[in-house]
Amino acid sequence: MKYYILSFLLTISLLACSPRLSEKLSASDYHKDVLLQTSKGDIRLRLNDATPLHRDNFLRLVKSGFYDSIQFHRVINQFMIQAGNPATRPDSARAPKPGPLIAAEFRPELFHRKGALAAARTGDDVNPSKASSSSQFYIVQGRTFTDAALDSVETHRLKGRKIPALHRDVYKTIGGAPHLDQNYTIFGEVLEGLPVVDSIASVPTTGTGKGDRPLNPVYIKKARLVKRL
């Protein structure tokens, strides 16, 4: 009997200390997708368990309603769409404040193919550790590349680091943004809704040098956790 009581207490103690079950996340949350209901249509996201810090942070923000009514404040066609700045919410003065930066979680198998979900961050000059914003994210639209173009990316943007053959094939056929690989943390992907990403990426904006902000706001009406298909 003492053994069972001790075992039970130990289990409770471990659960209480487990980061997976803390901060208002339940075990079932890790088996759900995120649905972004945007003003242009729905985007379904699958978060990656290989980047637990970013996964858990995103889940918490979605559950808290942080992304509801927030705008895609930076949009660049053939590159990416970005959201998560609380200043773009209608109630920005009362919006929850984002938390501290998140340590980078680079994984060699995760790369910036079209549909990749990644964390935005400030530049290397002020952020040499490449830590991520706690709230801002982007979804890659990207473009396709030739071998010659990928060779140029390796030389001039990746400082000689080679793009794996499998990743090259994807960049040549599906597309993406290879110059960001291993520089920004990828923590998920689009399962459904790539046409919506394309639609958002193609809206008129203020242009380069003026923030790339959509002239007519595009926003996330609601972000919520949904049962996986």
Given a cut of 90, whether residue 73 has pLDDT beyond it is yes
Cα 31 to Cα 21, 66, 96, distances in angstroms = 13, 20, 26
Two tokens, residue 123: 């530049």
CB atoms within 10 A of CB 141: 25
Domain 30-227 bears CATH identifier 2.40.100.10 = yes
Nearest to 77 by CA among 215, 212, 183, 220: 212
CB atoms within 10 A of CB 76: 16
Instruction: Give pLDDT tens digits for 119-174.
Output: 999 999 999 999 999 999 999 999 999 999 999 999 999 999 999 999 999 999 99
Q: In sequence order, what are the beta bridge partners of 201?
A: none
Instruction: Give pLDDT tens digits for 95-113.
Output: 777 789 999 999 999 999 9
